[in-house]
Amino acid sequence: MSFVQNFPFFSVILSLLCAVTSFFLDARWAKRLTLFLLCTSIGLQGSVLSFCYRNHMSYEYLMGHFAAPWGNEIALGILEPLFALLFATVMLCCVLGGIKRMERDVFPGKQSYYWIMVDLAHVSLLALCYTNDIFTGYVFIEICTIASCALLSIRENGRALIAAVRYMVFALIGSGLFLIGVIFTYSITGQLLFPQLYETIASLWEAGTYRFSMTIAIGLMVVGLAIKSGMFPFHFWMPDTYGRATPASSGILSGVISKGYIFLLIKIIYRVVGIEIFAASGVQTLLLLFGIAGMVAGSVSAIFAKRLTTMVAFSSVAQIGYIYMGLGMGTQAALIAVFFQIFSHALTKPMLFLSASQLANVSGGRQDFRSLCGAGHRHPVAGFTFTVGALSMVGIPLFAGFIPKLYFATSAFGLGWKTWPVLLALAVSTVLNVMYFLYTTILIWLPREEGARNHNRVMPQVETIVPAALLAGFNLMVGIHSSALTALFTQGIDLFCQ
């Protein structure tokens, strides 16, 4: 066992220790610890990823002295470190981009708590990526929920608190349903670790016993995670939540935390339930229908949104609808498209939130569309990154958002009755996306009269430009060199779905 294989475990323990130490120290040291932790975590996940890629292996790491069904363990191949790396990178960029705004919004005595929450959100995402046990997944989901509520409500703003309450009610309903699903699954199978659950569920399904209870249990787990990540009928908490938080928190929540839940959901579908049983139980069709509904409803609501961040939040609903539609399709090509969509959305959405807040800053702090006219001229870098993000969301070639839509369209053929609804939904939602994203992009680049041009021009600060520009750079890189990433995903899926 090589030393590199210990790295995921080291990153989890390091995050926990950083969170606890920040509790004892003051805000400056807490900030340094968090930034140190995120950079180290990127390095550790990157080394594990290259190790697993070079040796084309996946392995289990015992958390304790006892092997699988008696003790706990984490398992990883190529996909898990890849997504952990993505999450850590995006969190670092969000946090760096939002530092100045956070230091203005948050009371100085409470800033160390902000960094503690970022550490805890990071550790829960790592654990959700790496876990091989369903109950450990539940515990870290709860840490993630409480940490995101604190990230939301740390602003001294009454509306943020109401948004946080709404978010918590939905999130706790989702956790409760997930836990009940786990309990039913445990009652029927007697196992809690993924490999043993997979074998037991397969043998029970073949024998035909407890089939109804198992379908309901699978449905409850899926619905619980879907509520937490914002699938169509349960997305009502999203616009207020993302719209009222500080931009770093909106970026972390929308870009990274919802993707963590979706990654756990994919793990449960492919490694606990198995794709054949999942298709046979009918939950897959439900995901497809709700995904399609989400794509259309999210875009329609975005057109009627009155504030810029609310519009961006509704477009999140639409993009997550793409992911659920892909999970509902169920083929391997669709799964590659889903992973790509997760990647591109995680890179793009935080960038949109950061640039939106910058654009609003130079427009006198207002977010309605009239004041934002010409904002791109007042803050060129924010305008550029917003344009990159908008074009990526619409799906223009060269940007990261084009590839998953292409893959969704190509994988839609040959699926029987699912082909036409999927293709129709893709077409309709692209048109709707164009309507609000391109309109807003043109709006911010409208020329204004000369006298008004230098009004309220804020000099862009390095700390806020560099992260958003970095994310834009990653976006373009992923869009142009997509074949390397696709090959990585294909190789990863071979190891993932055994």
Partner 1 sequence: MEQLFGNLLYNYEEVVAVILFSIGFCILLFSRNLIKKVVGLDIMDTGVFLLLASRGYIAGRHVPIIVDGITTAEYYINPIPAGLVLTGIVVSVSVSALMLSLTVRIYRTYHTLDVDSLYMMMSVSKGGKQ
Partner 2 sequence: MRDKPMIDPEFSSIWTLWKNGQIDLTTPLRSPGHQPLQALKEVEKYRPRHSWEAYSQYVRKSTLLYKIAATILCCIFITLMLLTVANLPRYGDPNAPTINEVSERYIEEGTEETGAVNTVAGMILDYRAFDTLGESFVLFTAVCSVAVLMNLSGKRQHIKHTKELINYADDMIVRGVCRLLVPVILLFGIYILLNGHLSPGGGFSGGAVLGAGLIIYSMVWGEEKASRVFPAKLVRLVVFCSLAFYCLAKSYSFYTGANHLPFLIPEGAPGHILSGGLIMPLNVAVGFVVCFTMYSFYMFFRRGRL
Which residues, numbered 73-132, are part of the site for partner 2 (CB under 8 A)? 104, 107-110, 113, 116-117, 120, 123, 127
DSSP bridge pairs for 131: 74
Tokens describing residue 320: 């997550």
Which of partner 1, partner 2, none does residue 292 bind (CB under 5 to 8 Å by kind)? none
DSSP character at residue 133: B
Q: How many residues bind partner 1 (CB under 8 A)?
A: 38
Looking at the Cβ atoms of 71 and 397, the one nearer to partner 2 is 71
Which of partner 2, partner 1, none does residue 424 bind (CB under 5 to 8 Å by kind)? none
Q: Quote the CA–CA distance of 80 and 489 in Å, as a whole number.
A: 11
**Contact status: 159 vs partner 1 (CB under 8 A):** yes
> Which part of the chain contacts partner 1 (CB under 8 A), choosing from 116-124, 180-188, 327-335, 447-455?
180-188
Looking at the Cβ atoms of 424 and 452, the one nearer to partner 2 is 452
Which residues, numbered 292-311, are part of the site for partner 1 (CB under 8 A)? 307, 309
Contact 348, 478 (CB under 8 A): no
The three-point CA angle 222-223-229 to 5° equals 90
Q: Quote the CA–CA distance of 85 and 43 in Å, as a whole number.
A: 8
**Contact status: 17 vs partner 2 (CB under 8 A):** yes
CA distances, 182 to each of 134, 222, 228, 260, 261 (Å): 7, 11, 16, 18, 15
Among 4, 35, 63, 179, binds partner 2 (CB under 8 A): 63
Contact 201, 274 (CB under 8 A): yes
- AA letter at 172: L
Among 142, 216, 438, 477, binds partner 1 (CB under 8 A): 142
- AA letter at 275: I
Tokens describing residue 259: 């993707």
Report helix angle 211-229 to 258-267, nearest 10: 160
Which of partner 1, partner 2, none does residue 434 bind (CB under 5 to 8 Å by kind)? none
Q: How far is the CB of 349 from partner 2 (least distance, A)?
A: 19
What one-character-per-residue DSSP string does 302-340 give? HHT-SSHHHHHHHHHHHHHHHHHHHHHH-SHHHHHHHHH
Contact 15, 88 (CB under 8 A): no
> Which part of the chain contacts partner 2 (CB under 8 A), choosing from 291-299, 344-352, 424-432, 444-452?
444-452
Among 51, 53, 186, 384, binds partner 1 (CB under 8 A): 186
Q: How far is the CB of 433 from partner 2 (least distance, A)?
A: 13
Q: Pattern 293-332, binding to partner 2, x per CB under 8 A?
A: ----------xxxx----x---------------------
Give CA 250 to chain center in angstroms: 11
**Contact status: 184 vs partner 2 (CB under 8 A):** yes
Among 30, 94, 126, 149, binds partner 1 (CB under 8 A): 149
Burial label for 370, CB within 10 Å (0-12, 13-18, 19+), is exposed
Tokens describing residue 494: 């071979």
Q: How far is the CB of 59 from partner 2 (least distance, A)?
A: 10
Phi, psi (rounded to 5 degrees) for 62: -75, 130
Q: How far is the CB of 145 from partner 1 (least distance, A)?
A: 8
Look at the alpha carbons of 220, 226, 229, 230 in this order and tell me if their dihedral is positive or negative.
Answer: negative
CA distances, 415 to each of 124, 333, 409 (Å): 36, 11, 11
Looking at the Cβ atoms of 216 and 406, the one nearer to partner 2 is 216
Among 4, 6, 46, 103, binds partner 2 (CB under 8 A): 6
Among 173, 373, 396, 406, binds partner 1 (CB under 8 A): 173
Which of partner 1, partner 2, none does residue 420 bind (CB under 5 to 8 Å by kind)? none
Which residues contact partner 1 by CB under 8 A?
Answer: 135, 139, 142, 145-146, 149-150, 153, 158-159, 161-166, 168-169, 172-173, 176, 179-180, 183, 186-187, 192, 240, 244, 307, 309, 357, 360, 365-368, 371
